[in-house]
Structure 1
Amino acid sequence: MAQADIALIGLAVMGQNLILNMNDHDFVVCAFNRTISKVDDFLASEAKGTKVVGAQSLKEMVSELKTPQWIILLVKAGQAVDFIKKLVPLLDTGDIIIDGGNSEYRDTTRQCRDLKARGILFVGSGVSGREEGAWYGPSLMPGGNKEAWPHIKTIFQGIAAKGAGYFMKMVHSRIEYGDMQPICKASHLMKDVLGMAQDEMVQAFEDWNKTELDLFLIEIAANILKFQDAYSRHLLPKIRDSVGQKGTGKWTAISALEYGIPVTLIGEAVFARCLSSLKNDRIQCWPGAVAQACNFICKVAL
C-alpha cells in the first residue's frame, strides 16, 4: 500500500539531509538513487530508525507514493533531464516533479510547457543552505507551474528556514561580506607583507580549497587571481581598488547594535568597504579589488 508523501531522487549529502528534514516534519519520504547501493546504505545508517522508505527502481518508487505523486530531483542538471524522461511514463495527470538541482532557469520554462501538455506539473526550485541548511532549514526558491504550489506548500513551508522576509535576506546577504573580508585580508598580507607573486597566491588559495576551507568564495578567489587578459597579464591589478555596498551591510550593522548582537566581522567588512571608496593616497586597499571581483562573480554565478 502506498505510504510515502513524497519521493526524493539523489542521495548525496544535500539529498540525504533534505530527506531527514522532511522526516523530522512528519512527512514520509521514499528515497531513490541511481546507484542503488546508496539507498541501502542510507537506510542502514543516517536514516536508520526513521520513517524513510527506500526503492530499488523508479517504478517501485512511484508505487510507494500516495496520489497525487510528488517527486523531488536533487541531482545534477544534466541528470535531471534523464530522470524526467524516465518518470513521465510512470506518472499520471496532476502529479508533480520538482527539480532542486540548480538547473538553468530556461530549462524550467521549457519543462513547465512540455510537462503541462502531458498533465504533469513542474516546479524548478532553488535550494540554498548547503548540507546543514538542508536538514535544519534551507532557503527554498520555487518557481514554475503555479498550480503545483497549493499542493507542495505544506512541505515547503514546513521544512524551509523561518525568517522575516527582507530582514532574513539582509542578514543572509551580508554574511557574505564576513566571508569575503578574511579572503581580502589574506590576499593583502600575501601581496604587501609577504611579497608573494600572484601565481604563488593562486597556489595558496587552491591548496586551501582542498582542506576544510573548501568554499565557493575560496575557489573563485583563486580563479580571480589567476585570470589573465588577452595579453597574458593578470587582470586583477587593473581592477579599480574600490568596492561599495548597497546599504544592506550598514543596515545589518545598525540592526546588530540595536539588538545587542555582536557581528564584529560583518561590521569590519562594511568599514573596509567604506575605506576602499575613499580616494586618497594614504589608504591602500588592494583587497577592495578582490572584493569587487568576488562581488561580480557571485552575481553572475548565483
Structure 2
Amino acid sequence: MKQFTLGMIGLGTMGRNLLLNMADNGFQVTGYDKDPKMLKKLEEDGKAHDLKGFASLEDFIQSLELPRRVMLLVPAGPIVDSVIQELVPLLSKGDMIIDSGNSHFTDTSRRADELSKQGIHFFGMGISGGEEGARFGPSMMPGGDKQAYNAVKPILEAVSAKVNGDPCVTYIGPGASGHFVKMVHNGIEYAMMQVLAETYALLKHSLGYSNEQIYTTFDKWNNGRLKSFLLEVTKDIFKVKDPKTGNLLLDMIKDEAKSKGTGKWTSQVSMDLQLPIPTINEAVSTRDLSKFKSLRVALSKALPHQGEAIDHKEAFEVQLEQALYFAMIISYAQGLHLLEAASAEYKYELNLKEISQIWRGGCIIRAELLEDIYQAYKKNPELPHLFSDESIQHKLKDIVPGTRHVVITAIAHGIAIPCYASALTYYDSLRTANSPLNLTQAQRDFFGAHTFERVDEEGIFHADWNSTN
C-alpha cells in the first residue's frame, strides 16, 4: 500500500484545501471523512495529484508513514475529543495528532496532557486565512509539543503564505500557546470588523454617501496606509448585487451578527488576566446587542435623534481615514498586550516579533500596518506596549486630533460608535499619568475597609473616614 507523509481528518473546505495545498508542494498526503460526498469532492479537486481519501479510519491510519502525522480539521469542542478517542487505539507511541481547528486553549492543554501519558505527541495549531488561505497559503500558529512540530515543520513552511520570502508560520511556544494566539488573533479581527462597520455607518448616515461612493472611498483608502485584507473584502462587498432584487446584496442582509465564540473567549480570558482590551470587548458586545432587532426598531421610533448636517464633507472624510487607522493600531495594541500578559501567566514564552511577522501574510488580519508593528518588536523585543515604540507614537500623535473630531461628530449625530469611542478612551487612559482612581480606592476603603497605598510613603493604610477631622 502507498505510504503517505500526512493524513487529514475532516475533508470540509478547510481540510480539503489544505491537503490540495500540500499536494501542490509535492507532499504525499491523504484524508479521511465519514461523508462519501467529501471523499468524492477531494478526488475531483485533487485529480491532478491523484489525491484520494479513505472511508475506513483503520485503512487511513495504516496508510501513513511512521511516525504517523494526523491532522484534524473538525469543529471545535466534543467532536475533537470523539475523534481522538477513535484514533488513539489505532496509533502507536511516537505518533502525533495536530488539532488545527479553533479549539479553546484549555481543551488543548487537557488533551496534550492526556495524550502525552499514552506516548502520543499532540499540539494545537491555529490557522487563519479562510478557504483561500488554506488553498494557497495561510498563516499558521502551531504551539505545544516541539518534537511533533519539527516533524511537520517542512510541510507547514512549504504551504504557508510568504512575505518577503519568510514563511508565515513559526513555533509559537509550549502548551496551548498556538490556539491561544489564534484566539487573540480572532479577537483583534472582531475589533477591526466592528470598526469598519462603524466607518460604514458614518459614511452612510453622517456624510450621506451612496453605496458607490462608499466603495470608492474604501478602494482609495485600501491603496494607502490602510491596505489590508479586511478593507479589501469590505470594499468589494459594495459591488455585489442581489440576483433576486437587483439591489446591493448588503442592503438585503439583516443587521444581526453571529459569532462562533473566539471573540468571547478572548474577552473572558482578558478579564481573568486583568488585562484590559476594551475595544475588542465592545466588538463582542455589539454583535450580541445586534440580536435585539425588534427592541432596536421599537426604540428607534420612541427615542429618535436628529443630528446636525456636516458642512465640510471632504475634511471629515480625511479625518475618518485617520480615525480608522487609529482604531486599527489600537486593536493590534490591545491584542498584543494581552499576549504579553498571557505569556507571563501561562509560561508560553511568546515572541511578539515572530507573531507579528507571521500575521503579515495569509491571515485575516494581515495589513500594511503589521510591517510597522513587526519592525517595532524587531527593534525592541522587550517592548512593554506597542505605544512605547517611537514610530507608533508619531503615528498616533498625527492622527489623534482627527480621531477626536470623528468621535465628537458621531456622538452629536447619535450614531453608535462603541469601538471608536473605546479606542480613543483606551488611548487617553494609557497616557494619563494621574488617573481619578485614587477616589475609587478611597471609596473602597470608606465602605469596605479595603485599604489603600499612599503616594508619599510605602505601606498599606486604612483611614477613619467618619472622623470629623
User: What is the TM-score of this pair, normalised by structure 2?
Assistant: 0.46
Contact 1:28 1:53 (C-alpha < 8 Å) held by counterparts: no
Instruction: Give the Å deviation of 1:180.
Output: 5.3
Contact 2:94 2:119 (C-alpha < 8 Å) held by counterparts: yes
Instruction: Give the Å deviation of 1:40.
Output: 2.2
Instruction: Give the Å deviation of 1:93.
Output: 0.7
Q: Which amino acid aligns with 2:418?
A: A
1:145 lines up with 2:159 in the alignment = no
Q: Which amino acid aligns with 1:277?
A: R
Instruction: Give the Å deviation of 1:290.
Output: 4.4
Residue in 2 aligned with 1:223?
287
Instruction: Give the Å deviation of 1:156.
Output: 1.1
Map 1:88-103; keep pairs closer than 5 Å: 88-103=88-103
Residue in 1 aligned with 2:254?
207
Contact 1:123 1:143 (C-alpha < 8 Å) held by counterparts: yes
Residue in 1 aligned with 2:403?
276
Map 1:128-277; keep pairs closer than 5 Å: 128-163=128-163, 182-189=196-203, 191-192=205-206, 206-207=253-254, 223=287, 226=290, 244=327, 245-246=329-330, 252=369, 275-277=402-404
1:289 lines up with 2:418 in the alignment = yes
Q: Taking structure 1 as reference, are residues 293 and 127 closer, same or farther at Cα in structure 2, changes over 3 Å only?
A: farther
Q: Which amino acid aligns with 1:252?
A: L
Secondary structure of the 1:277 match is: helix
Residue in 2 aligned with 1:57?
56
Give 4+ residue runs of structure 1 displaced > 6 Å after superposition.
Answer: 172-178, 219-222, 231-234, 247-251, 270-273
Contact 1:224 1:293 (C-alpha < 8 Å) held by counterparts: no
Residue in 2 aligned with 1:16?
16
Contact 2:195 2:419 (C-alpha < 8 Å) held by counterparts: no
Residue in 2 aligned with 1:120?
120
Residue in 1 aligned with 2:75?
76
Identity %: 28
| CA RMSD in angstroms, aligned pairs only | 4.6
Secondary structure of the 1:118 match is: coil
Secondary structure of the 1:106 match is: helix
Instruction: Give the Å deviation of 1:157.
Output: 1.1
Residue in 2 aligned with 1:198?
none
CA distance in 2, matches of 1:222, 1:14: 28
Instruction: Give the Å deviation of 1:4.
Output: 0.9
CA distance in 1, matches of 2:133, 2:406: 40
Instruction: Give the Å deviation of 1:181.
Output: 5.5
Range with greater deviation from structure 2 (181-190 or 146-155): 181-190
Instruction: Give the Å deviation of 1:51.
Output: 3.9
Q: Which amino acid aligns with 1:223?
A: R
Secondary structure of the 1:27 match is: coil
**Equivalent residue pairs, number:** 256
User: What is the TM-score of this pair, normalised by structure 1?
Assistant: 0.68
Residue in 2 aligned with 1:263?
none
Q: Structure 1, residues 106-151: CA drift from partner, whole Å, max 9, x if none?
A: 1111111111111100010000000111011111101121221221
CA distance in 1, matches of 2:98, 2:192: 33
CA distance in 2, matches of 1:271, 1:161: 33
Secondary structure of the 1:3 match is: coil
Q: Where in structure 2 are there 5+ consecutive unaligned residues?
A: 170-184, 209-249, 258-262, 264-279, 306-322, 334-366, 373-396, 425-469
Q: Which structure would you say has the larger Rg?
A: 2
CA distance in 2, matches of 1:88, 1:277: 57
1:29 lines up with 2:29 in the alignment = yes
Contact 1:185 1:287 (C-alpha < 8 Å) held by counterparts: no
